Structure 1
Amino acid sequence: MSVDVSSSSASQPADLETTARNGSRFRRMAVRIPTYLADVKENPAWLPMFMLARTMPGRRAHWALSAKYKPSDDPQPSLFGALDATAVADALRSDGIFTGLQMPAEIQQEISRFALTTPCFGNFDRSLEFVAPRHREAEQSFGRSLLSGHFFERSLKSPGVRAIQADPLLMDIAKHYLGASAQLITTRIWWSFPTKTSSEADRSLASLDKFHFDLDDWRMLKFFFNLVNVDDGTGPHVFVKGSHNRRKAKHQYTLLVGHPADEVLDYYGADQAVTLTGPAGSGFVEDPFGFHMGTVPVTKPRLMMEVGFGVSKPSRRRFHGEPIINR
């Protein structure tokens, strides 16, 4: 997989821009409040995590108290070959990211066929159902831009998705990095589409074009796989190396997890931003507490797979990124 590291009158517009940006942030937070309340009701332990896991002291204390992992002397065979889980975990501790994963071609091809023929849900909305090859027709039919297409529970109908999710190397790496309590919390595939118009709210919901960190658990690890060839025009993922280990005070003691790109890169270093391109089947693993973002495709759709691990029980009420749903 290729990795590209890639006066008052004057201040008034900037002040207005900042005010507008902050207003937009707080509107997005207000929309999420019902989901947050439901998360607390389902699992009261979610609230202290949500408040403290964004701070470095809180995170370090939780890591220090974690149960250590004792690996088996007889590792199981993996679809990814003989990668050393210890070496991968060491790279993650240093950089927050490890590249060089490659899924078998036949599995990548099966998942891609599945994603081309199985209906997905646009912009996380289950009422916006369509198949990916008819994306433009779907936008015309629904009268709105469709930036993403998620499969939710349908992802696990793909034998290839289930095979990758169950691969023992992924769990071994997760336990080496997160500790003995590491467990699978999410598996998903989704499309990101080029679209002529998209709202900031849709881009934010799809985690596109804004650096952010994930705060779904005290400790997390996520494996990502490109299921199509990804170049600069396909909306590649971007990760800021080392940002999982240090955090500006402003980025800790706030309820916001998303921050402007210039603000993030000025502090953590533009030279630390890694743009992850690569052929279909290539993959990487990252600590999502580090700043990262997806970018909006401009030439062709991107199809991605994610397998996520955490240390707390996952929500059974909804899928990643999905608003509260009534069941």
Structure 2
Amino acid sequence: MSVNASSSSASQPADLEAVARSGSRLKRMAVRIPTYLADVKENPAWLPMFMLARTMPGRRAHWAMSAKYKPSAPPQSSLFGELDAAAVADALRSDGIFTGFQMPAEIQQEITRFALTTPCFGNFDRALEFVAPRHDQAEQVFGRSLLSGHFFERSLNSPGVRAIQADPLLADVAKHYLGSNAQLITTRVWWSFPTSASTEADRSLASLDKFHFDLDDWRMLKFFFNLVDVDEGTGPHVFVKGSHNKRKTKHQYTLLVGHPADEVLDYYGADQAVTLTGPAGSGFVEDPFGFHMGTVPVTKPRLMMEVGFGVSKPSRRRFHGEPVIRR
């Protein structure tokens, strides 16, 4: 009896941890339900994508049917110099990620000035409007933590943002990797702030501190640019190399896209996790079907820009992925 009692007692913490994890996952999914419902209402074809694109057979079938890209003209001049789009696409096929982009300093500085002087929206909520240098005061005024600050359509008021978005190299890489149907679907600029009292819902909407993969389209590619110097304390992005090419069965046949770090790293390899620090203006491109996450800044705010490509018609209802928030 004593052995059984001891065994039962020892299993309780693990059981409680499993229950807590399950509850946390359900909460994160519940936050996104209003957005999912709106996506289905706008475009019924979104639902089969959402169900099948998470499985390797579904993805491989869609990739096999994609129209291949055959360049018909020499590459155009790019702000990013002489990077070879085909070579970048080859690296993406192998690792799911390629680093080595560097935007011109004058463009990085213009976007940063824009982001310091233009009001952003806290936690994706258009009712929580403030300028980034007054983040602490804004938390006091609104009476809540502000983990992120997005600019939505205001991002395109920056000439630098428009220049990066239109750079021909980005589209060329996307077509080499995704196929000839690749098209621009997202452009966004946002802040991530150090804050001591963020909620599970806020972190879920901001996709922070949880390994996950994106399911916005059958095939996607996202370019990210650090607009401030990013070190370990600035909330760097983390990507698990190679995880775009294989998927644990458990991670395919579930509605959840987020999974605990130990579960992800045990299967895909802790040595494959790349923490993407770098100076202002540095950038990388990734296949967001690979497991990745942003981390919460602890020492200073992080300012990022993203340009995303996909193969399906982008949503007109929300500006570049703006979630639907249930009030």
Distance in 2 (CA, whole Å) between partners of 1:24 and 1:149 is: 24
Match of residue 153 from structure 1 = 153
- Please say which of residues 129-138 and 199-208 is displaced more in the overlay: 199-208
Q: Deviations over 1:98-123 (max 9, x none)?
A: 00000000000000000000000000
| Structure 2 residue 290 is the aligned partner of structure 1 residue 290 | yes
Residue 47 of structure 1 aligns to a residue whose secondary structure is helix
Distance in 2 (CA, whole Å) between partners of 1:28 and 1:279 is: 32
| Structure 2 residue 199 is the aligned partner of structure 1 residue 199 | yes
Distance in 2 (CA, whole Å) between partners of 1:30 and 1:195 is: 23
Kept after mapping to 2: 8 A contact 1:124/1:321: no
Residue 283 of structure 1 aligns to a residue whose secondary structure is strand
Shift of 1:8: 2.3
Shift of 1:75: 1.2
- Please say which of residues 194-203 and 30-39 is displaced more in the overlay: 30-39
Shift of 1:78: 0.3
Residue 27 of structure 2 aligns to a residue whose secondary structure is helix
Shift of 1:197: 1.4
| Structure 2 residue 234 is the aligned partner of structure 1 residue 234 | yes
Kept after mapping to 2: 8 A contact 1:105/1:281: yes
Equivalent runs, 1:1-327 vs 2, <5 Å: 7-324=7-324
Residue 225 of structure 1 aligns to a residue whose secondary structure is strand
Distance in 1 (CA, whole Å) between partners of 2:186 and 2:37 is: 21
Distance in 2 (CA, whole Å) between partners of 1:265 and 1:30 is: 25
Distance in 1 (CA, whole Å) between partners of 2:117 and 2:123 is: 18
Unmatched segments (≥5 aa) in structure 2: 1-6
Shift of 1:17: 1.8
Compute the TM-score of the two structures, normalised by the length of structure 1.
Answer: 0.96
Distance in 2 (CA, whole Å) between partners of 1:211 and 1:304 is: 18
CA change 1:247–1:318 in 2 (3 A) is same
Distance in 2 (CA, whole Å) between partners of 1:219 and 1:82 is: 26
Residue 313 of structure 2 aligns to a residue whose secondary structure is coil
* Higher alpha-carbon Rg: 2
Distance in 2 (CA, whole Å) between partners of 1:29 and 1:293 is: 16
Q: Deviations over 1:191-213 (max 9, x none)?
A: 00001211122111111110000
RMSD: 1.2
Distance in 2 (CA, whole Å) between partners of 1:221 and 1:63 is: 13
Q: Deviations over 1:177-236 (max 9, x none)?
A: 000000000000000000121112211111111000000000000000000000000000
Identity of aligned residues (%): 90
